[in-house]
Amino acid sequence: MIGGRDSSETARDPRGFAVKFYTEDGNWDLVGNNLPVFFIRDAIKFPDVIHALKPDPVSFHQEPSRIFDFMANTPESMHMLTFLFSPRGIPVDYRHQQGFGVNTYKMVNARGETVLVKYHWQPKSGVGCLTEDEAQAVQAKELGHASMDLYQAIDRGDFPQWDLLVQTMSDDEHPELDFDPLDDTKTWPEDRFPLRHVGTMTLDRNVDNFYAESEQIAFGTGVLVDGLDFSDDKMLIGRTFSYSDTQRYRVGPNYLQLPVNMPKNAKVSTNQRDGQMTYVVDGNEAGENTHVNYEPSSHPGANREAPYPAHVEQGPTISGKLTRRQIPRANDYAQAADRYRTMMQWERDDLVHNLVGLLGKCERYTQARMVWHLLLVDPDYGTRVGAGLGITADDVKKLAPLPNQPLTEDDRQRLGHLGDARPRAAGGTTLTGSVPVRRLADMPDSIASQLVSVPASGNGDGHRVPLEEVALVKR
Ligand code: HEM
Protein backbone atom coordinates (compact mmCIF):
# COMPACT_ATOMS: atom_id res chain seq x y z
CA MET A 1 0.00 0.00 0.00
CA ILE A 2 2.65 2.51 1.05
CA GLY A 3 5.98 1.70 -0.58
CA GLY A 4 6.70 2.45 -4.23
CA ARG A 5 6.96 -0.22 -6.89
CA ASP A 6 10.41 -1.51 -6.01
CA SER A 7 10.16 -1.18 -2.24
CA SER A 8 10.88 -4.16 0.01
CA GLU A 9 8.32 -6.95 -0.03
CA THR A 10 8.94 -7.59 3.67
CA ALA A 11 7.52 -4.20 4.69
CA ARG A 12 4.83 -4.21 7.37
CA ASP A 13 1.88 -3.08 5.26
CA PRO A 14 -1.44 -4.43 3.99
CA ARG A 15 -1.03 -6.28 0.68
CA GLY A 16 -3.58 -5.82 -2.09
CA PHE A 17 -5.35 -9.01 -3.17
CA ALA A 18 -7.32 -8.19 -6.32
CA VAL A 19 -8.83 -10.70 -8.75
CA LYS A 20 -10.39 -10.03 -12.15
CA PHE A 21 -13.02 -12.52 -13.29
CA TYR A 22 -13.52 -12.49 -17.07
CA THR A 23 -17.11 -13.74 -16.90
CA GLU A 24 -19.57 -14.37 -19.74
CA ASP A 25 -21.46 -11.26 -18.59
CA GLY A 26 -18.42 -8.97 -18.50
CA ASN A 27 -15.69 -8.41 -15.95
CA TRP A 28 -16.06 -8.61 -12.20
CA ASP A 29 -13.22 -7.31 -10.02
CA LEU A 30 -12.91 -8.38 -6.41
CA VAL A 31 -10.50 -5.78 -5.03
CA GLY A 32 -9.36 -6.81 -1.58
CA ASN A 33 -6.49 -6.93 0.88
CA ASN A 34 -4.68 -9.68 2.76
CA LEU A 35 -6.12 -8.49 6.09
CA PRO A 36 -9.89 -8.71 6.75
CA VAL A 37 -10.52 -5.21 8.14
CA PHE A 38 -9.37 -1.65 7.45
CA PHE A 39 -8.12 1.34 9.48
CA ILE A 40 -11.16 3.55 8.91
CA ARG A 41 -14.84 3.16 8.09
CA ASP A 42 -15.51 6.50 6.39
CA ALA A 43 -14.12 7.10 2.91
CA ILE A 44 -13.63 10.80 3.59
CA LYS A 45 -10.75 9.84 5.92
CA PHE A 46 -8.93 7.78 3.30
CA PRO A 47 -6.55 10.53 2.15
CA ASP A 48 -5.74 11.23 5.82
CA VAL A 49 -4.87 7.65 6.69
CA ILE A 50 -2.75 7.34 3.55
CA HIS A 51 -0.98 10.65 4.22
CA ALA A 52 -0.21 9.58 7.80
CA LEU A 53 1.22 6.27 6.62
CA LYS A 54 3.18 7.69 3.69
CA PRO A 55 6.53 9.46 4.19
CA ASP A 56 6.58 12.88 5.86
CA PRO A 57 5.95 15.50 3.13
CA VAL A 58 9.03 17.45 4.20
CA SER A 59 11.66 14.90 5.22
CA PHE A 60 10.22 12.14 3.00
CA HIS A 61 10.79 9.59 5.75
CA GLN A 62 8.04 7.31 7.05
CA GLU A 63 7.50 8.51 10.62
CA PRO A 64 5.95 6.47 13.45
CA SER A 65 5.07 9.76 15.16
CA ARG A 66 2.82 10.71 12.23
CA ILE A 67 1.32 7.23 11.85
CA PHE A 68 0.45 6.78 15.52
CA ASP A 69 -0.62 10.40 15.90
CA PHE A 70 -3.37 9.65 13.37
CA MET A 71 -4.19 6.20 14.78
CA ALA A 72 -4.32 7.39 18.41
CA ASN A 73 -7.01 9.85 17.30
CA THR A 74 -8.83 7.15 15.30
CA PRO A 75 -10.13 4.47 17.69
CA GLU A 76 -11.70 2.43 14.86
CA SER A 77 -8.15 1.61 13.71
CA MET A 78 -7.39 -0.59 16.78
CA HIS A 79 -8.66 -3.79 15.16
CA MET A 80 -6.58 -3.26 12.01
CA LEU A 81 -3.50 -2.22 14.01
CA THR A 82 -3.75 -5.43 16.02
CA PHE A 83 -3.60 -7.39 12.77
CA LEU A 84 -0.96 -5.22 11.13
CA PHE A 85 1.54 -5.18 13.97
CA SER A 86 1.22 -8.93 14.55
CA PRO A 87 3.20 -11.23 12.24
CA ARG A 88 0.17 -11.13 9.88
CA GLY A 89 1.36 -7.67 8.90
CA ILE A 90 4.25 -9.37 7.05
CA PRO A 91 3.04 -12.41 5.09
CA VAL A 92 5.89 -14.86 4.45
CA ASP A 93 5.17 -14.65 0.71
CA TYR A 94 2.17 -14.27 -1.62
CA ARG A 95 1.36 -18.00 -1.75
CA HIS A 96 0.66 -18.15 1.97
CA GLN A 97 -1.45 -15.06 2.39
CA GLN A 98 -5.20 -14.74 2.72
CA GLY A 99 -7.39 -12.37 0.74
CA PHE A 100 -10.51 -10.53 1.87
CA GLY A 101 -13.03 -8.31 0.13
CA VAL A 102 -13.06 -6.39 3.46
CA ASN A 103 -16.10 -4.29 2.51
CA THR A 104 -19.64 -5.64 2.47
CA TYR A 105 -21.14 -6.38 -0.93
CA LYS A 106 -24.55 -7.63 -2.07
CA MET A 107 -25.80 -10.52 -4.13
CA VAL A 108 -29.05 -10.02 -6.03
CA ASN A 109 -31.29 -12.75 -7.43
CA ALA A 110 -33.62 -12.55 -10.44
CA ARG A 111 -36.51 -11.39 -8.23
CA GLY A 112 -34.47 -8.45 -6.90
CA GLU A 113 -33.96 -10.01 -3.46
CA THR A 114 -30.61 -9.14 -1.94
CA VAL A 115 -28.27 -10.56 0.68
CA LEU A 116 -25.21 -8.93 2.18
CA VAL A 117 -21.99 -10.77 1.47
CA LYS A 118 -18.35 -10.80 2.55
CA TYR A 119 -15.66 -12.55 0.49
CA HIS A 120 -12.67 -14.50 1.77
CA TRP A 121 -9.76 -16.13 -0.09
CA GLN A 122 -8.15 -18.93 1.86
CA PRO A 123 -4.73 -20.17 0.66
CA LYS A 124 -4.80 -23.95 0.39
CA SER A 125 -1.24 -24.15 1.67
CA GLY A 126 -2.02 -22.26 4.89
CA VAL A 127 -1.22 -18.80 6.21
CA GLY A 128 2.44 -18.09 6.91
CA CYS A 129 3.92 -14.94 8.39
CA LEU A 130 7.25 -13.44 9.36
CA THR A 131 8.20 -11.91 12.66
CA GLU A 132 9.95 -8.55 12.47
CA ASP A 133 13.35 -10.21 12.99
CA GLU A 134 12.72 -12.84 10.33
CA ALA A 135 11.58 -10.14 7.90
CA GLN A 136 14.73 -8.12 8.48
CA ALA A 137 16.87 -11.18 7.76
CA VAL A 138 15.05 -11.75 4.44
CA GLN A 139 15.28 -8.08 3.52
CA ALA A 140 19.01 -8.00 4.18
CA LYS A 141 19.46 -10.24 1.15
CA GLU A 142 16.47 -9.73 -1.13
CA LEU A 143 13.87 -6.99 -1.65
CA GLY A 144 11.57 -8.90 -3.99
CA HIS A 145 11.43 -12.32 -2.30
CA ALA A 146 7.63 -12.71 -2.54
CA SER A 147 7.33 -11.96 -6.26
CA MET A 148 10.27 -14.26 -6.92
CA ASP A 149 8.72 -17.05 -4.84
CA LEU A 150 5.41 -16.78 -6.68
CA TYR A 151 7.03 -16.65 -10.10
CA GLN A 152 9.26 -19.63 -9.40
CA ALA A 153 6.47 -21.75 -7.91
CA ILE A 154 4.24 -21.23 -10.95
CA ASP A 155 7.18 -21.76 -13.28
CA ARG A 156 7.94 -25.17 -11.77
CA GLY A 157 4.27 -26.21 -11.92
CA ASP A 158 3.63 -25.88 -8.18
CA PHE A 159 0.44 -23.90 -8.77
CA PRO A 160 -0.83 -22.02 -5.70
CA GLN A 161 -4.54 -22.29 -4.95
CA TRP A 162 -7.04 -20.30 -2.93
CA ASP A 163 -10.55 -21.30 -1.94
CA LEU A 164 -13.17 -18.58 -2.31
CA LEU A 165 -15.53 -18.55 0.67
CA VAL A 166 -18.50 -16.31 1.32
CA GLN A 167 -20.40 -15.22 4.39
CA THR A 168 -23.95 -14.02 3.80
CA MET A 169 -26.37 -12.07 5.96
CA SER A 170 -29.95 -10.98 5.31
CA ASP A 171 -30.06 -7.46 3.91
CA ASP A 172 -31.64 -5.57 6.80
CA GLU A 173 -30.78 -3.68 9.98
CA HIS A 174 -29.60 -6.44 12.34
CA PRO A 175 -30.15 -4.68 15.67
CA GLU A 176 -29.17 -7.94 17.40
CA LEU A 177 -25.51 -7.47 16.40
CA ASP A 178 -23.15 -5.33 18.46
CA PHE A 179 -21.61 -3.96 15.25
CA ASP A 180 -22.88 -2.54 11.97
CA PRO A 181 -22.72 -5.11 9.14
CA LEU A 182 -21.57 -2.34 6.78
CA ASP A 183 -18.61 -1.38 8.97
CA ASP A 184 -15.33 -2.49 7.39
CA THR A 185 -13.46 -2.35 10.71
CA LYS A 186 -15.40 -5.48 11.72
CA THR A 187 -15.45 -9.13 10.76
CA TRP A 188 -18.64 -11.18 10.90
CA PRO A 189 -18.59 -13.85 13.62
CA GLU A 190 -18.05 -17.15 11.83
CA ASP A 191 -20.21 -19.07 14.32
CA ARG A 192 -23.27 -17.09 13.20
CA PHE A 193 -22.30 -16.42 9.59
CA PRO A 194 -20.49 -19.57 8.48
CA LEU A 195 -17.99 -19.53 5.66
CA ARG A 196 -19.37 -21.23 2.55
CA HIS A 197 -17.12 -22.55 -0.18
CA VAL A 198 -17.99 -21.30 -3.66
CA GLY A 199 -14.93 -22.11 -5.75
CA THR A 200 -11.17 -22.42 -6.07
CA MET A 201 -8.68 -20.22 -7.88
CA THR A 202 -5.50 -21.73 -9.31
CA LEU A 203 -2.63 -19.56 -10.53
CA ASP A 204 -1.41 -21.73 -13.40
CA ARG A 205 0.55 -19.34 -15.56
CA ASN A 206 2.91 -16.44 -15.16
CA VAL A 207 2.37 -13.22 -17.08
CA ASP A 208 4.02 -12.98 -20.50
CA ASN A 209 5.05 -9.43 -19.72
CA PHE A 210 4.96 -7.83 -16.28
CA TYR A 211 4.27 -4.32 -17.48
CA ALA A 212 1.51 -5.26 -19.94
CA GLU A 213 -0.35 -7.57 -17.59
CA SER A 214 0.51 -6.52 -14.03
CA GLU A 215 1.43 -2.82 -14.13
CA GLN A 216 -1.35 -1.89 -16.52
CA ILE A 217 -4.09 -3.99 -15.02
CA ALA A 218 -6.75 -1.85 -13.38
CA PHE A 219 -9.11 -3.15 -10.71
CA GLY A 220 -12.13 -1.31 -9.38
CA THR A 221 -14.93 -2.02 -6.95
CA GLY A 222 -17.44 -0.68 -9.49
CA VAL A 223 -16.48 -3.37 -12.01
CA LEU A 224 -19.43 -5.67 -11.41
CA VAL A 225 -21.77 -7.98 -13.29
CA ASP A 226 -25.52 -8.41 -12.85
CA GLY A 227 -26.27 -10.29 -9.66
CA LEU A 228 -23.31 -8.80 -7.79
CA ASP A 229 -23.60 -5.34 -6.32
CA PHE A 230 -22.04 -3.06 -3.75
CA SER A 231 -23.82 -2.27 -0.51
CA ASP A 232 -24.40 1.04 1.27
CA ASP A 233 -21.06 0.56 3.07
CA LYS A 234 -19.75 4.14 3.01
CA MET A 235 -16.16 3.13 2.45
CA LEU A 236 -17.10 0.95 -0.46
CA ILE A 237 -19.06 3.73 -2.13
CA GLY A 238 -16.07 6.06 -1.71
CA ARG A 239 -13.80 3.42 -3.20
CA THR A 240 -16.11 2.87 -6.15
CA PHE A 241 -15.83 6.53 -7.13
CA SER A 242 -12.07 6.61 -6.88
CA TYR A 243 -10.67 3.59 -8.73
CA SER A 244 -11.71 4.41 -12.31
CA ASP A 245 -10.90 8.06 -11.65
CA THR A 246 -7.31 7.15 -10.76
CA GLN A 247 -6.97 4.67 -13.56
CA ARG A 248 -7.90 7.18 -16.24
CA TYR A 249 -4.92 9.17 -14.93
CA ARG A 250 -2.52 6.34 -14.03
CA VAL A 251 -3.00 4.15 -17.11
CA GLY A 252 -4.81 6.52 -19.46
CA PRO A 253 -8.36 7.41 -20.44
CA ASN A 254 -8.76 4.28 -22.56
CA TYR A 255 -7.37 1.87 -20.00
CA LEU A 256 -10.38 -0.38 -20.49
CA GLN A 257 -9.25 -1.04 -24.07
CA LEU A 258 -6.01 -2.74 -22.99
CA PRO A 259 -6.18 -6.52 -23.45
CA VAL A 260 -5.70 -7.20 -19.74
CA ASN A 261 -8.62 -4.93 -18.80
CA MET A 262 -11.02 -5.81 -21.61
CA PRO A 263 -13.76 -8.34 -21.09
CA LYS A 264 -12.52 -11.59 -22.61
CA ASN A 265 -15.73 -13.58 -22.57
CA ALA A 266 -18.44 -11.01 -23.19
CA LYS A 267 -19.18 -8.36 -25.78
CA VAL A 268 -19.37 -4.96 -24.15
CA SER A 269 -20.49 -1.81 -25.97
CA THR A 270 -20.41 1.47 -24.09
CA ASN A 271 -20.82 4.17 -26.76
CA GLN A 272 -17.80 5.85 -25.18
CA ARG A 273 -15.40 7.53 -27.58
CA ASP A 274 -12.11 9.30 -28.18
CA GLY A 275 -9.32 10.26 -25.80
CA GLN A 276 -5.64 9.38 -26.07
CA MET A 277 -4.74 5.90 -27.27
CA THR A 278 -8.18 5.06 -28.61
CA TYR A 279 -7.74 1.68 -30.19
CA VAL A 280 -11.04 -0.16 -30.25
CA VAL A 281 -14.04 1.24 -32.10
CA ASP A 282 -17.06 0.34 -30.06
CA GLY A 283 -19.33 -2.06 -31.92
CA ASN A 284 -17.05 -2.39 -34.96
CA GLU A 285 -16.25 -6.01 -34.40
CA ALA A 286 -19.86 -6.88 -33.71
CA GLY A 287 -20.86 -5.35 -37.07
CA GLU A 288 -22.89 -2.58 -35.47
CA ASN A 289 -23.61 0.75 -37.12
CA THR A 290 -20.59 2.71 -35.92
CA HIS A 291 -22.13 6.04 -36.95
CA VAL A 292 -24.50 5.72 -34.05
CA ASN A 293 -22.67 6.23 -30.76
CA TYR A 294 -25.79 7.22 -28.84
CA GLU A 295 -28.97 5.54 -27.74
CA PRO A 296 -31.93 5.39 -28.45
CA SER A 297 -31.83 5.35 -32.25
CA SER A 298 -33.99 4.06 -35.12
CA HIS A 299 -31.08 3.70 -37.55
CA PRO A 300 -30.40 0.19 -38.75
CA GLY A 301 -27.66 -1.68 -36.88
CA ALA A 302 -27.64 0.70 -33.91
CA ASN A 303 -26.51 -0.49 -30.54
CA ARG A 304 -29.35 -1.10 -28.09
CA GLU A 305 -29.27 -0.60 -24.37
CA ALA A 306 -29.11 -3.91 -22.53
CA PRO A 307 -32.48 -5.11 -21.28
CA TYR A 308 -33.34 -4.05 -17.76
CA PRO A 309 -33.55 -6.74 -15.12
CA ALA A 310 -37.03 -8.26 -14.79
CA HIS A 311 -37.39 -6.81 -11.29
CA VAL A 312 -37.97 -3.07 -10.96
CA GLU A 313 -37.11 -2.78 -7.29
CA GLN A 314 -34.22 -4.22 -5.38
CA GLY A 315 -33.35 -4.88 -1.77
CA PRO A 316 -35.11 -3.89 1.43
CA THR A 317 -37.41 -0.91 1.95
CA ILE A 318 -35.45 1.94 3.51
CA SER A 319 -36.91 4.96 5.25
CA GLY A 320 -35.26 7.75 7.22
CA LYS A 321 -33.22 10.87 6.74
CA LEU A 322 -29.85 10.99 5.05
CA THR A 323 -27.25 12.05 7.59
CA ARG A 324 -23.51 12.37 7.80
CA ARG A 325 -22.41 11.37 11.26
CA GLN A 326 -20.60 8.67 13.21
CA ILE A 327 -22.44 5.32 13.13
CA PRO A 328 -24.06 4.57 16.49
CA ARG A 329 -22.66 1.03 16.81
CA ALA A 330 -18.98 1.96 16.46
CA ASN A 331 -17.89 -0.55 19.14
CA ASP A 332 -14.24 0.06 18.34
CA TYR A 333 -12.57 -2.20 20.90
CA ALA A 334 -14.49 -5.49 21.22
CA GLN A 335 -13.28 -7.15 18.03
CA ALA A 336 -9.73 -5.88 18.53
CA ALA A 337 -9.89 -7.73 21.87
CA ASP A 338 -11.15 -10.88 20.16
CA ARG A 339 -8.28 -10.63 17.75
CA TYR A 340 -5.70 -10.23 20.51
CA ARG A 341 -7.10 -13.23 22.34
CA THR A 342 -7.42 -15.41 19.23
CA MET A 343 -3.78 -15.01 18.34
CA MET A 344 -1.22 -17.57 19.34
CA GLN A 345 1.26 -16.59 22.02
CA TRP A 346 4.12 -16.11 19.52
CA GLU A 347 1.95 -13.71 17.52
CA ARG A 348 0.99 -11.70 20.60
CA ASP A 349 4.62 -11.44 21.70
CA ASP A 350 5.65 -10.14 18.29
CA LEU A 351 2.68 -7.72 18.22
CA VAL A 352 3.65 -6.20 21.57
CA HIS A 353 7.33 -6.07 20.56
CA ASN A 354 6.50 -4.30 17.28
CA LEU A 355 4.15 -1.76 18.83
CA VAL A 356 6.60 -0.93 21.60
CA GLY A 357 9.42 -0.52 19.08
CA LEU A 358 7.59 2.04 16.95
CA LEU A 359 5.62 3.77 19.71
CA GLY A 360 8.98 4.27 21.43
CA LYS A 361 9.73 6.76 18.65
CA CYS A 362 6.53 8.76 19.25
CA GLU A 363 5.69 11.68 21.51
CA ARG A 364 4.68 10.87 25.08
CA TYR A 365 1.09 12.05 24.51
CA THR A 366 0.72 9.68 21.57
CA GLN A 367 2.16 6.80 23.58
CA ALA A 368 -0.19 7.55 26.46
CA ARG A 369 -3.28 7.68 24.25
CA MET A 370 -2.32 4.44 22.51
CA VAL A 371 -1.82 2.68 25.86
CA TRP A 372 -5.22 4.05 26.95
CA HIS A 373 -6.88 2.55 23.84
CA LEU A 374 -5.09 -0.78 24.21
CA LEU A 375 -6.04 -1.03 27.89
CA LEU A 376 -9.65 -0.54 26.82
CA VAL A 377 -9.22 -3.28 24.21
CA ASP A 378 -7.73 -5.79 26.63
CA PRO A 379 -6.02 -5.26 30.00
CA ASP A 380 -3.19 -7.65 29.19
CA TYR A 381 -2.56 -6.05 25.79
CA GLY A 382 -2.44 -2.48 27.15
CA THR A 383 -0.42 -3.46 30.20
CA ARG A 384 2.23 -5.22 28.12
CA VAL A 385 2.60 -2.40 25.60
CA GLY A 386 2.56 0.14 28.45
CA ALA A 387 5.29 -1.80 30.30
CA GLY A 388 7.49 -1.58 27.22
CA LEU A 389 7.02 2.20 27.17
CA GLY A 390 7.18 2.79 30.92
CA ILE A 391 3.49 3.79 31.10
CA THR A 392 1.02 2.28 33.59
CA ALA A 393 -2.76 2.28 33.73
CA ASP A 394 -2.52 4.84 36.57
CA ASP A 395 -0.58 7.16 34.27
CA VAL A 396 -3.37 7.25 31.67
CA LYS A 397 -6.59 6.74 33.60
CA LYS A 398 -7.24 10.48 33.82
CA LEU A 399 -7.39 10.83 30.03
CA ALA A 400 -10.87 11.76 28.88
CA PRO A 401 -12.33 9.95 25.87
CA LEU A 402 -11.61 11.61 22.53
CA PRO A 403 -14.06 14.35 21.48
CA ASN A 404 -17.26 12.74 20.17
CA GLN A 405 -15.88 9.27 20.79
CA PRO A 406 -18.76 6.80 20.98
CA LEU A 407 -18.16 4.34 23.83
CA THR A 408 -20.33 1.32 24.62
CA GLU A 409 -21.71 0.86 28.12
CA ASP A 410 -19.14 -1.89 28.56
CA ASP A 411 -16.31 0.46 27.49
CA ARG A 412 -17.48 3.03 30.07
CA GLN A 413 -17.35 0.47 32.84
CA ARG A 414 -13.88 -0.58 31.73
CA LEU A 415 -12.73 3.03 31.89
CA GLY A 416 -13.36 2.88 35.64
CA HIS A 417 -11.15 -0.23 35.92
CA LEU A 418 -8.43 0.57 33.46
CA GLY A 419 -5.73 -2.09 33.72
CA ASP A 420 -7.67 -4.60 35.78
CA ALA A 421 -10.99 -4.94 33.93
CA ARG A 422 -12.31 -8.46 33.36
CA PRO A 423 -11.76 -10.00 29.91
CA ARG A 424 -14.41 -9.26 27.33
CA ALA A 425 -16.92 -11.95 26.36
CA ALA A 426 -15.78 -13.73 23.20
CA GLY A 427 -17.59 -12.46 20.13
CA GLY A 428 -17.73 -15.69 18.14
CA THR A 429 -15.03 -14.70 15.67
CA THR A 430 -12.32 -17.15 14.74
CA LEU A 431 -8.98 -16.67 13.07
CA THR A 432 -7.33 -18.89 10.53
CA GLY A 433 -4.21 -20.17 12.23
CA SER A 434 -1.10 -18.36 11.19
CA VAL A 435 1.91 -20.58 11.13
CA PRO A 436 5.40 -19.28 11.86
CA VAL A 437 7.51 -19.59 8.78
CA ARG A 438 9.80 -22.14 10.41
CA ARG A 439 6.87 -24.49 11.07
CA LEU A 440 5.21 -23.93 7.72
CA ALA A 441 8.10 -25.65 5.98
CA ASP A 442 7.38 -29.05 7.55
CA MET A 443 3.60 -28.82 7.68
CA PRO A 444 1.59 -30.61 4.96
CA ASP A 445 -0.70 -28.25 3.03
CA SER A 446 -3.78 -30.21 4.03
CA ILE A 447 -3.18 -29.46 7.71
CA ALA A 448 -1.83 -25.94 7.45
CA SER A 449 -4.94 -24.66 5.69
CA GLN A 450 -7.33 -26.16 8.24
CA LEU A 451 -5.94 -24.67 11.40
CA VAL A 452 -8.18 -22.09 12.95
CA SER A 453 -7.98 -20.47 16.36
CA VAL A 454 -10.96 -19.47 18.45
CA PRO A 455 -10.96 -16.89 21.23
CA ALA A 456 -10.79 -18.01 24.83
CA SER A 457 -14.25 -17.18 26.19
CA GLY A 458 -14.62 -14.69 29.01
CA ASN A 459 -15.88 -16.57 32.07
CA GLY A 460 -17.75 -13.57 33.44
CA ASP A 461 -16.64 -14.06 37.05
CA GLY A 462 -14.06 -11.34 37.04
CA HIS A 463 -11.03 -13.59 36.57
CA ARG A 464 -8.80 -13.18 33.62
CA VAL A 465 -8.96 -16.16 31.30
CA PRO A 466 -5.42 -17.45 30.72
CA LEU A 467 -4.31 -16.56 27.25
CA GLU A 468 -2.84 -20.03 26.87
CA GLU A 469 -6.41 -21.31 26.54
CA VAL A 470 -6.54 -19.97 23.03
CA ALA A 471 -7.00 -23.17 21.11
CA LEU A 472 -5.94 -24.31 17.69
CA VAL A 473 -8.80 -26.41 16.46
CA LYS A 474 -9.55 -27.97 13.10
CA ARG A 475 -12.04 -26.13 10.94
C1 HEM B 1 -12.17 4.78 0.94
C2 HEM B 1 -11.24 3.88 0.93
C3 HEM B 1 -10.36 3.61 -0.26
C4 HEM B 1 -10.09 4.39 -1.33
C5 HEM B 1 -10.63 5.79 -1.65
C6 HEM B 1 -9.17 3.67 -2.17
C7 HEM B 1 -8.63 4.15 -3.34
C8 HEM B 1 -7.69 3.50 -4.09
C9 HEM B 1 -7.03 4.05 -5.24
C10 HEM B 1 -7.27 5.42 -5.81
C11 HEM B 1 -6.19 3.11 -5.73
C12 HEM B 1 -5.27 3.21 -6.93
C13 HEM B 1 -5.95 2.55 -8.09
C14 HEM B 1 -5.09 2.44 -9.31
O15 HEM B 1 -4.18 3.23 -9.50
O16 HEM B 1 -5.34 1.54 -10.11
C17 HEM B 1 -6.32 1.97 -4.88
C18 HEM B 1 -5.67 0.80 -5.08
C19 HEM B 1 -6.00 -0.36 -4.44
N20 HEM B 1 -6.82 -0.48 -3.33
FE21 HEM B 1 -7.87 0.98 -2.49
N22 HEM B 1 -8.91 2.46 -1.60
C23 HEM B 1 -9.62 2.38 -0.44
C24 HEM B 1 -9.65 1.33 0.43
C25 HEM B 1 -9.23 0.08 0.09
C26 HEM B 1 -9.55 -1.11 0.80
C27 HEM B 1 -10.40 -1.20 2.07
C28 HEM B 1 -8.99 -2.14 0.10
C29 HEM B 1 -9.10 -3.61 0.38
C30 HEM B 1 -10.25 -4.18 0.54
C31 HEM B 1 -8.30 -1.60 -1.04
C32 HEM B 1 -7.61 -2.33 -1.98
C33 HEM B 1 -6.91 -1.80 -3.03
C34 HEM B 1 -6.14 -2.57 -4.00
C35 HEM B 1 -6.00 -4.08 -4.06
C36 HEM B 1 -5.59 -1.66 -4.88
C37 HEM B 1 -4.73 -1.96 -6.11
C38 HEM B 1 -5.68 -1.94 -7.30
C39 HEM B 1 -5.05 -1.77 -8.64
O40 HEM B 1 -3.84 -1.63 -8.73
O41 HEM B 1 -5.79 -1.76 -9.66
N42 HEM B 1 -8.46 -0.25 -1.01
N43 HEM B 1 -7.22 2.24 -3.88
Q: How far is the CA of 446 from the centre of ligand 1 (A)?
A: 32
Tell which one of 31, 37, 121 to mutate to probe ligand 1, the residue whose CB is within 8 A of the most ligand atoms. Answer: 31
Q: How far is the CA of 220 from the centre of ligand 1 (A)?
A: 8
CA R_g for the chain:
24
Whether residue 389 lies inside any domain: the answer is yes
- The residue type found at 160 is P
Please give the full DSSP string across 259-271, using - where no structure is assigned. TTTS-SSS-----
Q: Ligand 1: which residue has its CA nearest to atom 6?
A: 239
Q: How far is the CA of 31 from the centre of ligand 1 (A)?
A: 7
Q: Ligand 1: which residue has its CA nearest to atom 26?
A: 32
Q: Ligand 1: which residue has its CA nearest to atom 4?
A: 239
Whether residue 233 lies inside any domain: the answer is yes
Beta bridge partner(s), residue 156: none
Q: Is 141 left (phi over 0), alpha (psi -120 to 50) or beta?
A: alpha
Tell which one of 30, 41, 211, 239 to mutate to probe ligand 1, the residue whose CB is within 8 A of the most ligand atoms. Answer: 239
Q: Which of ligand 1's atoms lies nearest the C-alpha of 103?
A: 30
Q: Ligand 1: which residue has its CA nearest to atom 1?
A: 43
Whether residue 460 lies inside any domain: the answer is yes
Task: Please answer whether residues 36 and 235 qualify as being in contact, where contact means their C-beta atoms are separated by less than 8 angstroms.
Answer: no
Q: What is the tens place of the pLDDT at every residue in 263-310?
A: 999 988 888 889 999 988 877 777 889 899 999 999 998 888 888 878
Beta bridge partner(s), residue 473: 452
Beta bridge partner(s), residue 121: 99, 164
Q: Which domain holds residue 469?
A: 16-280+328-474
* E strands present in 194-350: 196-202, 228-230
Tell which one of 242, 247, 250 to mutate to probe ligand 1, the residue whose CB is within 8 A of the most ligand atoms. Answer: 242
Quick one: which H or E segment has residue 16?
A: strand 16-23
Strand pairing class (99-100; 196-202): unpaired
Q: Ligand 1: which residue has its CA nearest to atom 22?
A: 239
CATH number of the domain encompassing residue 190: 2.40.180.10
Q: Which of ligand 1's atoms lies nearest the C-alpha of 17?
A: 35
Whether residue 428 lies inside any domain: the answer is yes
Q: How far is the CA of 239 from the centre of ligand 1 (A)?
A: 7
Whether residue 133 lies inside any domain: the answer is yes
Q: How far is the CA of 10 from the centre of ligand 1 (A)?
A: 20
Q: Which of ligand 1's atoms lies nearest the C-alpha of 43?
A: 1
Q: What does the buried/exposed string (b/e) look like for 271-308 if buried means 16 or more CB atoms within 10 Å of the residue's CB? A: eeeeeeeeeeebbeeeebeeebbeeeeeeeebbeeeee
Q: Ligand 1: which residue has its CA nearest to atom 23?
A: 239
Q: Ligand 1: which residue has its CA nearest to atom 11?
A: 243
Q: How far is the CA of 94 from the centre of ligand 1 (A)?
A: 18
Q: How far is the CA of 47 from the centre of ligand 1 (A)?
A: 11
Distance in angstroms (rounded) separating the CA atoms of residues 344 and 322: 43
Whether residue 93 lies inside any domain: the answer is yes
Q: How far is the CA of 213 from the centre of ligand 1 (A)?
A: 18
Q: How far is the CA of 1 from the centre of ligand 1 (A)?
A: 8
| Ranges in the chain, pLDDT < 50 | 458-470, 475
Tell which one of 83, 243, 255 to mutate to probe ligand 1, the residue whose CB is within 8 A of the most ligand atoms. Answer: 243
- Residue 45 CA to its chain's centroid (Å): 16
pTM to 2 decimal places: 0.94
Q: How far is the CA of 393 from the centre of ligand 1 (A)?
A: 38
Q: How far is the CA of 123 from the centre of ligand 1 (A)?
A: 22
Distance in angstroms (rounded) separating the CA atoms of residues 333 and 70: 17
Query: What was the pLDDT predicted at 19?
Result: 98
* E strands present in 299-455: 431-432, 434-436, 451-454
Residues whose beta carbon lies within 6 Å of some atom of ligand 1: 16, 18, 31-33, 38, 43, 46, 102, 184, 218-219, 235, 238-239, 242-243, 246-247, 250
Q: How far is the CA of 227 from the centre of ligand 1 (A)?
A: 23
Query: What was the pLDDT predicted at 281?
Result: 82
Q: Ligand 1: which residue has its CA nearest to atom 9?
A: 243
Whether residue 301 lies inside any domain: the answer is no
Q: Which of ligand 1's atoms lies nearest the C-alpha of 219?
A: 41
Whether residue 423 lies inside any domain: the answer is yes
Q: Ligand 1: which residue has its CA nearest to atom 5?
A: 239
Distance in angstroms (rounded) separating the CA atoms of residues 30 and 47: 22
Query: What was the pLDDT predicted at 63?
Result: 97
Count of the separate structural domains present in the chain: 1
Q: Which of ligand 1's atoms lies nearest the C-alpha of 250?
A: 15
